[in-house]
Structure 1
Amino acid sequence: MTELMLKYFRTKQQEVQSQKVYDTQCPFCSMQCKMQLIEQRVVSRRNYKTVGKDNPTTNGRLCIKGMSAHQHALHHERIKQPMLKVDGEFVPITWKKALGHIREKYTAIQREDGLDALSVYGSASLTNEEAYLLGKFARVALKTKHIDYNGRLCMASAATGANQTFGMDRGFTNTLQEVPYTRCIILAGTNLAECQPTAMPYFEKAKENGAFIIAIDPRETATTKAADLHLKNKPGTDAALANGLLKILIEEQMIDQSFIQKRVNGFEEVREYLSSIEIEEIESITDLSKEELYQAASIFGQEESGMIFTARGIEQQTDGTAAVRGFLNILLATGKIGKANSGYGAITGQGNGQGAREHGQKADQLPGYRSIEKEEDRAYISKVWGVEEKDLPGKGVSAYEMFEKAYEGTISGMFIMCSNPVVSHPNSNFVEKALKNLKSLIVVDMFISETAKLADLILPASSYLEDQGTMTNVEGRVTLREANRPLPGNVKHDWQIICDMAKVLGKGDYFSFTTAEEIFDELRVASRGGKADYFGITYEKLRKEDGILWPCPSVEHRGTKRLFEDSFAHKDGRAKMAAISNLPRVPKQSQSKKYPLLLTTGRVMSQYLTGEQTRKSSTLVARNFESFMEIHPHTAKKYQLEDHSVVKVESKTGHIKVRCKWSMKTRKDTVFVPFHWVGTQNVNKLVSDDLDPSCKMPGFKVIAVRVSKASSDGNEEMVYPDE
């Protein structure tokens, strides 16, 4: 080696003054990919690189969002101290002053308006410890019944459908490791390739092994391209599609009579209902051919094993619960559940979408998936918490209904933790008005989001790099996120904020935790004996096993990889089939001459939820910097909309302006707009307040709209074609 080369390497070694490695997990989707952030200090600057870390779910894989996540956590706009609104402007204040403000506001509101005048709005991005603590805070520190969370907009249909059918809701009944060995897969309303890309290798391997993949989606996506059969049905007709497939399976005698007789209730009622429906009716409703329906049903019915996966495409509808139950009927009728390589998977959206709904953030739930309305459940949790059962409040209302109560004045104070409902909720113009009507709005966030802008106080949240705790991924696998990067500025962990608030409200004895692990140990006891039993899971065990699937009822237990092998979770051990309506539930905003097109919403790979974090990432913004409307060229020409032009999309509740994007991927009667943008591009302004009667899920996927050219002066030119 020459002297010149030696000098070069010595110089480089001197430049790299230090290197730190932080273990963590991706803060975005439910795959919860394990990863490490490598921080190198080179002379006067720092360089960052994210690498995947081996784990049972994703084997070290990462997508572009995970690799770029540190960009928002280290962003210069991040809030690093409490911010109080003074004369319309936010000014930094001390924690002492912030907590004093909370005590003053909350004490006054409950004195003047009653205990239930305060409300708590949580998040599926919180750790299990923080979700658990937030539910306890609402019911013990505030004694309010009003608590719900943003997972209501994500997993409510799947959770309700699974609970009604199986008696238990764990997103996946099997592990992802079984997917490559199943013979037929139905992907109903899921775009895995863009929403959970690190899961796709399991499905690609299944296809390599000879599995037949059926995708159900009104659009062509990266996922449908991987399918052998794409059922491009009309939006909102998924329940009818499930009925049609099951009708064919029954009539062609491709059902498992022995399994039904031993383990299922309700089959005869379903058979009788389906006998009254003609397959031509299914064709008409779904806009699919008889040949397509028979092909899908026959292949799924004839194969020895099969799996069905559902996601927001069929769930975010006002009959989303019915659609989920329809596909679960198919699994039960064919006996493809509770055995190897056969089962159900609800593709969870948010990072902790599974765990966050198990331990008390939902209006009707207590920890361990217990019911707040069952006396024995209330008695058990009140004992764990050291309170009187009679002092526990009852069932509250769903997330959107809390905003209705805020608008009417029944709720006058709201605490929002790590969520942005002004952007994420339906009828978002109304949600903004409701929040402005509050006497107090306190928001915990990393940035001044659209929701935080309306607050009187913002509290700084910790990021995925700093906030240790457990998360429950898409499989129902509990994982430990180590997250040991130091907190920046005066930031506190979310669980510390909850404990500090409880203390100033006189309830500190119930929230005397000093670590996340202490909270988890109480959660374990609170969940013991419940359907979501975490009692046998410890931090030490999670580190050793790298994740454990619940239920895990004892420390000796290794976790449950496959559910329902011997019995279902209903008291009689049997699953429940149910006849579901073949007619789509008529939404408040249905197609008409004035609103002739159907709008459906969804995600793009480089953005996440309301985009508050991903839009802080230069890498991700470079891929998708603005929203768009995907429209079939034939339809675009009818309405005289040029490719790449700015267009106005309008429903009965509002309008937006986005870039027009011609695409053969979507149906001629359907347009698509992603939901990651804000302001004049916030597609949720177009979504009505119509809710699924069973689970209160809004209808994000079926919205009647009209489209027109957008002009700079705001006078859009409407075109109503004769044909």
Structure 2
Amino acid sequence: MSELVNVKIDGKPYQFEKGTTILKACKSIGIEIPTLCYLEGIAEEGSCGMCVVEVKGSRTLQRACITEVTEGMEITTNSELVNEARKTNLELALAHHPLDCMTCDKDGDCVLQDLAYQFGIKKSQFLDESDVFVYPKETPWDTNPFIQFDPQKCILCRRCVDACENQAIVEAIGIAMRGYKSVVSTPFNLPLEQTNCQFCAECVQACPTGALIEKPRIGKGKIFNFESTDTICAYCGVGCNVELYKDKNNNLVMARGIDKEPNNGRLCVKGRYGYEYVNSNERLTTPLIKENGVFREATWEEAIDYTAKRLLEIKEKYGPDAIGVLGSARCTNEDNYIVQKFARAVIGTNNIDHCARLCHASTVAGLGKALGAGAATNPIDDIKNADVMFVIGSNTTETHPVIAQFIKENKKKRGAKLIVCDPRNIDLAQYADIFIQHYPGTDVALLNGMMKVIVDNGLIDKEFIENHTEGFEDLLKVLKNYDLDKVSKITGVDKKLIESAAITYAKGPNSMIFYTMGITQHHVGVDNVLSIANLALITGHIGKVGNGIDPLRGQANVQGACDVGALPDVYTGYQKVTDETVRKKFEEFWKVKLPDKVGYAVSQFGDLALDGKLKAVYAMGENPLVTEADVRHVKEGFEKLEFLAVQDIFLSETAQIADVVFPAKAAYEKFGTFTNTERRVQLLKPARTPHPNVKDDWEIVCEVATKMGYPMHYKDAEEIWEEIREVTPSFKGITYKRLKENSLQWPCPDITHPGTKILHYGGNFKRPNSKALITGVEFEPPVEIPDNEYPFVLTTGRILFHYHSRNETRRVKVLESFVPENFVEINPEDAEALNIKDGDNVKVKTRRGEIVVKAKISQKPKKGVVFVSFHFSEANANILTINALDPVARIPEYKACACAIEKI
């Protein structure tokens, strides 16, 4: 129990926990003390002196933000002496500050301005206009498109520096010079873009004046003219709470992080600036029907009638399984529930899939087999309880930047160990205690090698294995063949590093694993995931605080789209379509006969169309003509379809070849729910009024279904969610009413349940015997390995400044201008051998095609490995990738194929 101390504040007695600061103590009893430099947990240095109070017996005023309460302390918060000192300190801060509030973009959004009004200061008594130091006009901040810095408005409170250091965990800026010439700057006065700045703009959000501001916001108006909405970021699967601001013209103009889980106020560059695409004049606003190869505008009624007629004709002529349906991880749970119901109840097929097939299908299958649930076991907040963080196949800083910040923070502030395994020398590797740079596609060998070390050193958790698992003996048989010499040769990694990583992870005492598509996007993706599960299970690092497996989801609602059944083998809550009891339940609820066989995966659609087995596709928010492996082959298949319908917010590459296109609302225009990477169901609210002629995705699908003879009518998204709850045990206790108060993590079986933070707690796994399955997995090399003709390994992935097929981020000016084209990363040794210099145009070739991109000479890729991002349709990496599928998950091997590099 915490020790309490007795304190008097303004003459009244109180008790507080020992160690509480005066500032927090006063705030807890409703006494507001002004602050300028203080941000809880971020900037707590007490430099501005605005929070001073009197403490009886002390010779000087005390700073409330850094002074702790002690037994018998008597505090006065509002005396003449205190107020005079605060006013003086404020005037000192204003001594060199320009008096241009009316023309400043931060007018009405400035802490300094508010305090000046509060204390009645019109002009600082310390201001000598004849001797004001004028900072140089040129600063390291000038050339980047994201952040503007005006040093004349800076009061040197250090909040921006502390936010960069303690919140973003980057340290790109600091205080340069001394005395009145002191200024916030970069190391050696370098341009900001030449530092390790990630442009998350935490510094901007922390700034209490107009010194720092987002450049895209400049000239858009004052904050008191904006309307704000709390919603969820529509980019990656972290699920950041974001406050979006709309101007009088209905344009989104600013974003701020909200201080609650999971992001606790943080945002990344896309969350901060990426809202702009919603305002784009390229948005679809009317249905389109293609005639003689050319689109014409159509009415909603005409487009709905045409689509329903074509789908019914194809269903009648070829059968329901000749039609494929696509949901989307960019759409809400409600949208995806309706589109999978449309596929099954209206068309009569289980050919329903979405982009999880291309990122985390291996997780759903692998963790589902091993643990009974294919989802993250622990909340993001649990990172702070881990003693060891094992990151494999995840460039977390660029794919899940906010989670990377938490990982770095745990290492920096709590001394946790960090192990990073990746074929590229990624940002997180710079912070790692152990960095393993293995060849793409050798993860099983690496993980088996680690497990053999753990077994040989007696570091397994025998009690956990005996009581909570089965199959350990099968694993032991496999591990006999993975001595470190063999593993080192396969992976290209020093065996001492492998041994060190294994021992560090096993000893913990609390260890968590994080992975993304570097693990899943292989023809052995499920094997990779099973190997990760094996590692956690044999060490007992699962089912408790600070121990678990967190697959980090790549898109805002990829977890949710899976959860609500936008997959070919399951209904909502992963209830199997092949289970007769489950199927009958849905038949009774939907009042229709349902198909009993597993449907086709989207990764099979191209081949099926070419073979004539698939005749039509209905795509909601997906863009397979950019995202599919061996995409030219897939395009040939889609062009052979008899009918293609697409609903989207832009005329995507897939929409361009469609027969009919429906205009849909964007995520920031919708009511509904997203489910983030930690199983957290969150309420999405519209921050902008949509064009009057666009519709919710679920509404469009319902209209097509109704026209096809199966009436689907819902008054709003909440009514759809109520139906989802009714058929899904794990969502039963999650209501919109509860979500308005706070988000909830499934499973949540009833309305009194608080939600489940940690899956499999205490070793209780969601399998028939409550025991996890350990599986012996043998290493298989990538399907395509380098040879004389194609001597390099090509791997693909995300970059920080773009998203998925770039449909959204190409319409965000600052993101597009900062990274306007694709590139190939080449190791310096490889580049020298090929006589390639940085910036040269090169041809990247595989057996499937070629692209021309600029060379980026970089220490990131391992020698013999090259990297290309997958965001750019103009130089599409998926022209090169191989459509070799995992036999279980049907996920393509995006992360490893043979390629050649040729200087042009």
TM-score tier, shorter chain, comes to over 0.9
Q: How far 1:8 moved relative to its partner?
A: 7.8
Residue from 419, 424, 438 that aligns with 1:214:
419
1:148-163 matched pairs, under 5 angstroms: 148-163=353-368
Whole-Å separation in 2 of the counterparts to 1:264 and 1:445: 45
Partner of 1:620: 815
Partner amino acid, structure 2, of 1:515: D
1:566-585 matched pairs, under 5 angstroms: 566=762, 567-582=764-779, 584-585=780-781
Partner of 1:19: 226
Partner of 1:466: 669
Q: Does 1:520 align with 2:724?
A: no
Partner of 2:482: 277
Q: How far 1:367 moved relative to its partner?
A: 1.1
CA contact (8 A) 1:35 1:53 kept: yes
CA contact (8 A) 2:221 2:247 kept: no
Residue from 275, 288, 298 that aligns with 1:83:
288
Partner of 2:246: 39
Q: Does 1:537 align with 2:734?
A: yes
Q: How far 1:213 moved relative to its partner?
A: 0.5
Residue from 97, 106, 113 that aligns with 2:302:
97
Q: How far 1:526 moved relative to its partner?
A: 1.1
The 3-state SS of whatever aligns with 2:726 is helix
Partner of 2:464: 259
Distance 1:526 1:687, change over 3 A: same
Whole-Å separation in 2 of the counterparts to 1:222 and 1:501: 47
1:623-642 matched pairs, under 5 angstroms: 623-642=818-837
1:92-171 matched pairs, under 5 angstroms: 92-170=297-375
1:64-79 matched pairs, under 5 angstroms: 64-79=269-284
CA contact (8 A) 2:252 2:278 kept: no
Calculate percent identity across the aligned residue pairs: 32
Partner of 1:547: 743
CA contact (8 A) 1:146 1:402 kept: no
Give CA-to-partner distance per residue, 1:615-665, whole Å, 9 cap, x none: 111011122110000001110121222220111001111111111011112
Partner amino acid, structure 2, of 1:35: V
Q: How far 1:326 moved relative to its partner?
A: 1.0
Give CA-to-partner distance per residue, 1:478-525, whole Å, 9 cap, x none: 1111125322141000010011111111111xx211100000000001
The 3-state SS of whatever aligns with 2:731 is coil
Partner of 1:190: 394
The 3-state SS of whatever aligns with 2:226 is strand
Whole-Å separation in 1 of the counterparts to 2:103 and 2:236: 43
Partner of 1:704: 898
Q: How far 1:15 moved relative to its partner?
A: 8.0
Q: How far 1:47 moved relative to its partner?
A: 7.1
Partner amino acid, structure 2, of 1:399: V
The 3-state SS of whatever aligns with 2:238 is coil
Residue from 364, 369, 376 that aligns with 2:581:
376
CA contact (8 A) 2:388 2:504 kept: yes
Distance 1:8 1:709, change over 3 A: closer
CA contact (8 A) 2:882 2:892 kept: yes
Whole-Å separation in 2 of the counterparts to 1:605 and 1:434: 32
Q: Does 1:452 align with 2:655?
A: yes
Partner of 1:564: 760
Partner of 1:716: none
Partner of 2:236: 29
Partner of 1:354: 559
Whole-Å separation in 1 of the counterparts to 2:353 and 2:269: 31
Whole-Å separation in 2 of the counterparts to 1:231 and 1:5: 54
The 3-state SS of whatever aligns with 1:689 is strand
Give CA-to-partner distance per residue, 1:79-107, whole Å, 9 cap, x none: 01101112222221110110111122112
CA contact (8 A) 1:631 1:666 kept: yes
Whole-Å separation in 2 of the counterparts to 1:669 and 1:211: 32
1:634-713 matched pairs, under 5 angstroms: 634-679=829-874, 681-710=875-904
The 3-state SS of whatever aligns with 2:390 is strand
CA contact (8 A) 2:309 2:708 kept: no
CA contact (8 A) 2:252 2:688 kept: no
The 3-state SS of whatever aligns with 1:30 is coil
CA contact (8 A) 1:26 1:32 kept: yes
CA contact (8 A) 2:442 2:781 kept: no
Partner of 1:714: none
Q: How far 1:66 moved relative to its partner?
A: 1.3
Whole-Å separation in 1 of the counterparts to 2:562 and 2:221: 48
Give CA-to-partner distance per residue, 1:419-458, whole Å, 9 cap, x none: 1101100010011111110111111111111111100111
Partner amino acid, structure 2, of 1:601: T
Partner amino acid, structure 2, of 1:456: D
Partner of 1:175: 379
Distance 1:47 1:554, change over 3 A: closer
If you compute each CA radius of gyration, which structure gives the higher value, 1 or 2? 2
Distance 1:98 1:244, change over 3 A: same
Q: How far 1:278 moved relative to its partner?
A: 2.4
CA contact (8 A) 2:232 2:682 kept: no
Partner amino acid, structure 2, of 1:501: V
Partner amino acid, structure 2, of 1:629: V
Moved more, 433-442 or 84-93: 84-93
Partner amino acid, structure 2, of 1:412: K
Whole-Å separation in 2 of the counterparts to 1:199 and 1:6: 37
Whole-Å separation in 1 of the counterparts to 2:506 and 2:227: 54
CA contact (8 A) 1:82 1:458 kept: yes
Partner of 2:442: 237
Give CA-to-partner distance per residue, 1:589-621, whole Å, 9 cap, x none: 321111110011111111000111111110111
Q: Does 1:595 align with 2:800?
A: no
Give CA-to-partner distance per residue, 1:674-696, whole Å, 9 cap, x none: 100003x1001111121011211
CA contact (8 A) 1:446 1:462 kept: yes
CA contact (8 A) 1:143 1:393 kept: no
Partner of 1:414: 617
Give CA-to-partner distance per residue, 1:247-288, whole Å, 9 cap, x none: 000000001101111011011111122123322111110111
CA contact (8 A) 1:310 1:324 kept: no
Whole-Å separation in 2 of the counterparts to 1:328 and 1:47: 43
Moved more, 272-281 or 242-251: 272-281
1:605-616 matched pairs, under 5 angstroms: 605-616=800-811
Whole-Å separation in 2 of the counterparts to 1:55 and 1:387: 43
Whole-Å separation in 2 of the counterparts to 1:139 and 1:66: 35
Whole-Å separation in 1 of the counterparts to 2:736 and 2:251: 32
Partner of 1:713: none
Q: How far 1:397 moved relative to its partner?
A: 1.5
Whole-Å separation in 2 of the counterparts to 1:410 and 1:40: 50
CA contact (8 A) 2:246 2:688 kept: no
Distance 1:593 1:302, change over 3 A: same
Q: How far 1:392 moved relative to its partner?
A: 3.4
Partner of 2:172: none
Partner amino acid, structure 1, of 2:735: T
Q: How far 1:70 moved relative to its partner?
A: 2.2
CA contact (8 A) 1:468 1:484 kept: no
1:418-497 matched pairs, under 5 angstroms: 418-483=621-686, 485-497=688-700
Partner amino acid, structure 2, of 1:695: A
Whole-Å separation in 2 of the counterparts to 1:407 and 1:638: 41
Q: How far 1:54 moved relative to its partner?
A: 2.5
Distance 1:374 1:638, change over 3 A: same
Give CA-to-partner distance per residue, 1:297-356, whole Å, 9 cap, x none: 111122211111111112111111111111211111111111121111001111111111
Distance 1:80 1:255, change over 3 A: same
Q: Which structure is richer in relative contact order (CA contacts within 8 A, separation 6 or more)?
A: 1
Partner amino acid, structure 2, of 1:142: I
**Any gaps of 5 or more consecutive residues in structure 1?**
711-723
Q: How far 1:112 moved relative to its partner?
A: 1.7
CA contact (8 A) 2:287 2:299 kept: yes
CA contact (8 A) 2:606 2:636 kept: no
Partner amino acid, structure 1, of 2:351: H
